[in-house]
Amino acid sequence: MFDYSLVHWATFVSATVILNLSPGPDMAFMLGQTIRGGRAKGFAAMFGMWLATACHAVVAAFGLSAILLASASAFSVMKWAGALYLVWLGYQAIRSSGSALMPDNEVNNRSENSKTTVFRQGFFVCLLNPKVALFFLAFLPQFVVAGAGSTTSQLLLHGILVVVISGLVEPPLIIIADRLSQRVRNSVSVGRWLNRALGCLFISLGIKLAIYRQ
């Protein structure tokens, strides 16, 4: 069971690393939270997205993602929910003050800026992205090998390994982003403009998702 060749693993790992490094709402949210609140917030966002990714993997393994592929209505509902959520996050970032970037500031310890909130936001940013669900539905079946186990077990294995590989790729990115942003994080004026830039990015990603066609 799970008897794969070296070429199989090399192809899968390479494709997954490229997936993790590709720009998108998940990466933008994770690095944006790191810049705003330091590595603790970045890791909170990352863990939330990992949980959502695992959910996508499980759903794809049991074939439920096919509903999105077959049902235009289901796809539209999920697409618009994700787009509106990104736009809302962008609006919140634009209207916030630059003090949210200051790690020792009292404002940063309020509930709306807590790591739990960032974790929850990261989870929904990833979960409500239908492109992620459709990606898993298209990506994982390519690595199912006849005789290596049941289709469901193979899909689950590779889906969970996507999260595991994320654990090797994304933490260094958060640490690098945190170090690069430390010098500007204590500046309220810089923080205000970073919030606005991040907000505009989220809104643009939300619009891009809204016009995305299945």
- Identify whether 202 is part of a domain: yes
Question: pTM score, two decimals?
Answer: 0.70
Q: Whole-angstrom Cα distance, residue 165 to residue 14?
A: 10
Length of the chain measured in residues: 214
Residue 1 in any domain: the answer is: no
CB 20 within 8 A of CB 84: no
Percent of the chain with pLDDT over 70: 72
Task: Tell me what the mean pLDDT of segment 158-164 comes to.
Answer: 89
Q: Which residue has the tokens 């192809």?
A: 11
Residue predicted with more confidence, 72 or 145? 145
Range from 10-19, 37-46, 181-190, 193-202 carrying the lowest mean pLDDT:
181-190
pLDDT of 124 > 80? The answer is: yes
Domain count of the chain?
1
CB burial class (10 A; 0-12, 13-18, 19+) of residue 3?
Answer: exposed
Give residue 93's identity as a one-letter amino acid code. Answer: A
What sections of the chain are H helices per DSSP?
A: 6-21, 25-37, 39-61, 66-70, 72-95, 115-127, 130-139, 151-185, 188-210
Structural domain including 82 reads 6-210
Token pair recorded at residue 140: 């994982």
Percent of the chain with pLDDT over 90: 11
Is a pLDDT exceeding 80 seen at residue 110?
Answer: no
Mean pLDDT in residue range 13-36: 81
Q: How far apart are CA 82 and CA 138, in angstroms?
A: 20
* CA distances, 193 to each of 48, 95, 149, 185 (Å): 26, 11, 52, 11
pLDDT digits (tens, 9 = 90+) for 167-211: 998 999 999 888 887 766 555 565 566 667 767 766 776 787 677
- pLDDT value of position 75: 66
Position 105 scores a pLDDT of 43
More confident residue, 80 or 69: 80
| Mean pLDDT taken over the chain | 76
- Check pLDDT > 90 for residue 47: yes
What is the rounded average pLDDT of the residues 69-92? 71
What pLDDT score does 43 carry?
94
